[in-house]
């Protein structure tokens, strides 16, 4: 996909409300957030690609020893990131931009 086509696709996702511009990273690159409900309904291919990206990134962090996962009696997961793992996860956009309330940083 060329840059022009990618920009058209991003604009389409913005227009339907699947994504929104959340800000810019330190390098000036745009950061987008997905609207889960809208994306699942109107852009399921985007939602599936997003899930695959998040899963792949978290598995890589786990395999690199930068993330540990702990399960409680209800099999709900708690993620424990190293400082480096948290930084990478945030840079890659797999955790929210606004805080660390749901994450444990070691």
Instruction: Express each pLDDT in 57-84 by its tens digit.
Output: 999 999 999 999 999 999 998 999 999 9
Exposure letters 59-96 (e unless 16+ CB within 10 A, then b):
eebeeeebbeeeeeeeeeeebebbeebbebbbeebbbe
pLDDT at 63: 97
In the predicted model, what is the mean pLDDT of residues 27-46? 92
pLDDT at 26: 79
Q: Comparing 16-25, 70-79, 86-95, 96-105, which segment has the lowest mean pLDDT?
A: 96-105
Report pTM.
0.78
Domain boundaries, the chain: 3-105
């Amino acid at each position: 996909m060329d840059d022009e086509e990618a920009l058209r696709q991003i604009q389409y996702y913005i227009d339907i409300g699947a994504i929104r511009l959340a800000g810019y990273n330190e390098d000036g690159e745009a950061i987008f957030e997905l609207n889960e409900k809208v994306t699942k309904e109107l852009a399921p291919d985007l939602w599936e690609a997003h899930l695959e990206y998040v899963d792949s990134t978290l598995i890589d962090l786990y395999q690199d020893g930068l993330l540990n996962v702990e399960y409680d009696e209800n099999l709900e997961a708690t993620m424990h990131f190293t400082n480096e793992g948290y930084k990478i996860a945030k840079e890659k956009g797999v955790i929210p931009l606004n805080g660390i309330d749901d994450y444990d940083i070691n």
